[in-house]
Amino acid sequence: MYLIAGLGNPGLSYKKTRHNAGFQALDVLAARHGVRVKTKGFSALYGEGRIGTERVILMKPQTYMNLSGDAVQSLMHFYKLAPDRLIVLYDDIDLPIGSLRIRANGSAGSHNGMRSVISCVGSEAFARIRIGVGKDESILLRDYVLKRPSKAEQQALNEVFEHAADAAELIVAGRIGDAQMQYNKKHEKNRSVSIDGRSDKE
């Protein structure tokens, strides 16, 4: 079994903000496989299903971002899962909008939600799918991530949510190397979308 967690903040005011990219990518994955992420418990919304022959739990922590690890650890403990059976999808300001990076392990970087997950799980040895949302140095980081993207940015993000779901499927199938080769390299070549909706190479 795999536990796949999309990170974000609960509530309508946060819906489709940049910081909720993990929730949005998880929604794409859930829709593909008919998983209803509606069950309440463990400080999360979660649902059970299958990806291929593998049993999966898809979850959205409801603790707010900075305490995401509490919910993740609770479900992992209940289902007796080791860290290598965890996959986390989340937004990353250090990646251009519309880019994707897949890693088998590593630190949290500047992401407070991932810091919480690593602290609560007690390990960095789990897969993560980082979804680029870019950044704007002219405004406070908190204000930037808690705002909704522009129309052009959202179009780029919608595409990368599909690719994030593809990558999660490959990881569940035991093919994280294939996911990295296909999507990390693909998105290195992509043009990022700037705040005003133009390419950064225009």
Positions marked catalytic: 19
Instruction: Tell me the pairing of strands 100-103 and 127-132.
Output: antiparallel
Amino acid at 195: I
Contacts of 39 (CB under 8 A, 6+ apart): 45, 46, 47
* 69 CB-contact burial (10 Å; exposed 0-12 / middle 13-18 / buried 19+): buried
Please give the torsion angle defined by the CA atoms of residues 65, 130, 106 and 187, in that order, rounded to the nearest 10 degrees.
Answer: -170
Instruction: Give residue 160's identity as a one-letter amino acid code.
Output: V
HSE-up (13 A, CA, CB side) for residue 103: 13
Beta strands 86-92; 54-61: pairing state: unpaired
In this structure, the dihedral spanned by the alpha carbons of residues 162, 101, 140 and 21, taken in order and rounded to 10 degrees, is 20
